[in-house]
Structure 1
Amino acid sequence: MPPRLEVIGLEGLPEVRPGDDLTALVREAADGAGGLRDGDVLVLAQKIVSKAEDRFVDLRDVRPDDRARRIAAQCDKDPRQVAVILSESAEVLRHRPGVLIVRHRLGHVLANAGIDASNVPQMNGSERVLLLPEDPDGSAERLRAGLGGRIGVIVNDSPGRAWRVGSVGIAIGVAGVATVLDLRGRRDRDGREMQASELAVADEIAAAASIVMGQAAEGVPAAIVRGAAHFLGQGRTANLIRHPDMDLFR
């Protein structure tokens, strides 16, 4: 049989709230789709992980400092939101009206530190935004341990990309998956030694799942990727992030 990959969207997950048992909710949804199998990779949208971990901030409670106000004026954003973005950032890389690009404390380079209010229910006049999980790798590992079996877990997000139009799913949390496949030193079909080939396999799996999960009102915040068992292993999201000293584009 030729190589094949199957992506199964998990429907029926409820609106996740702080303190919910995400492992139990995902297991029930997976059982409704036929259950998890040995070698599966479970991919979850960052938002449901953040919601379960209560990573909400209500902008009504935020008091921006002078730096946040100055940057907010330069990029035409709410100073309160900018203050939250800065609290999650290690470095501001670029900003202009409507755009604020930062290096997140986890190392990811993305707009607004991954913070937004899309698909974030509001209540009693709240102005809530949602942050990335505190420790996405740890979140993925807890889910993997709770679900049991020989599976991998990826927490994905869909930031924009430098030089390319549109967003693509990437892995921001990983457990039980080899994040990068190093092909350097192997031979191609013509016998030439490969010098620089490294495959971001966790990102490729996250992107495949994102096609089924969607980005807006689809209501499919998790998916099973089947056929990628050969990528199970040990990896950390940090392995996917290019060290600043090797970044030629800043």
Structure 2
Amino acid sequence: RLLLPENPDHDAHTLRSQLMQRFGLRTAVIVSDSHGRPFRMGTVGVAIGVAGLPALWDLRGTPDLFGTALQVTDVGFADELAAAAGLVSGQAGEGLPVVIIRGLSYPSLEDSAARDLIRNPEFNLYR
């Protein structure tokens, strides 16, 4: 039986710190788990702990493909990476606990956290 970490954001920050100290690399860490979604079948990987990259990437004001400024786009960046990593690591007995993603551009954030992905209760559509 596998238990979730008690504080996955803290664990992600600790692991990131240790990796950067040991290898001298700029890196980020995502702790992920499988997640079911309302109104959708199947599980998908989501970030439950984040360090060093934006969990939620605010793209408001940046131009879209046609040059129009985005008005409301917040990307669940860490969740998208967790889902992509889940395709490689698997969802069952594959036994691949770590996925390395290289060549990805993102802003480095020291104070990022997966809790940034949690919807404010006043905007919760499923209560």
Pick the TM interval, shorter chain: 0.7 to 0.9
Structure 1 equivalent of residue 65 of structure 2:
189
Q: Counterpart amino acid of 2:40?
A: R
Structure 1 equivalent of residue 4 of structure 2:
132
Q: Counterpart amino acid of 1:202?
A: A
Please state if 1:239 is matched with 2:116. Answer: yes
| Deviation readout 1:66-122 (Å, 9 max, x if unpaired) | xxxxxxxxxxxxxxxxxxxxxxxxxxxxxxxxxxxxxxxxxxxxxxxxxxxxxx2xx
C-alpha RMSD over aligned residues: 1.5
Distance 2:83 2:67 in 1: 31
The answer on whether the counterparts of 1:178 and 1:202 sit within 8 Å (CA) in structure 2 is yes
Q: Which of 33, 36, 39 does residue 157 from structure 1 map onto? A: 33
Q: Counterpart amino acid of 2:6?
A: E
| Deviation readout 1:127-174 (Å, 9 max, x if unpaired) | xxx442111111111111111221101100011111111011011001
Distance 1:179 1:214 in 2: 21
Q: Which runs of 5+ in 1 are unaligned?
A: 1-119, 121-129
Structure 1 equivalent of residue 125 of structure 2:
248
| Deviation readout 1:217-245 (Å, 9 max, x if unpaired) | 11111111112242432311111111110
- Give the greater-gyration-radius structure (CA): 1
Alpha-carbon spacing, 1:222–1:192, altered in 2? closer, same or farther (3 Å): same
The answer on whether the counterparts of 1:172 and 1:237 sit within 8 Å (CA) in structure 2 is yes
Distance 1:229 1:192 in 2: 22
| Deviation readout 1:172-217 (Å, 9 max, x if unpaired) | 0011111111111222233333211111111111111110100111
Scaled by the length of structure 1, the TM-score of the pair is 0.46
| Deviation readout 1:30-78 (Å, 9 max, x if unpaired) | xxxxxxxxxxxxxxxxxxxxxxxxxxxxxxxxxxxxxxxxxxxxxxxxx
Question: Which segments of structure 1 move beyond 4 Å, counting only runs of 4 or more?
Answer: none
Q: Which of 11, 14, 19 does residue 147 from structure 1 map onto? A: 19
The answer on whether the counterparts of 1:171 and 1:203 sit within 8 Å (CA) in structure 2 is yes
The answer on whether the counterparts of 2:53 and 2:106 sit within 8 Å (CA) in structure 1 is no
| Deviation readout 1:13-32 (Å, 9 max, x if unpaired) | xxxxxxxxxxxxxxxxxxxx
Which secondary structure state, in structure 2, belongs to the residue aligned with residue 184 of structure 1? coil
Alpha-carbon spacing, 1:178–1:160, altered in 2? closer, same or farther (3 Å): same
The answer on whether the counterparts of 1:201 and 1:231 sit within 8 Å (CA) in structure 2 is no
Which secondary structure state, in structure 1, belongs to the residue aligned with residue 99 of structure 2? strand
The answer on whether the counterparts of 2:47 and 2:114 sit within 8 Å (CA) in structure 1 is yes
Structure 2 equivalent of residue 44 of structure 1:
none
Percent of aligned pairs with the same residue? 48
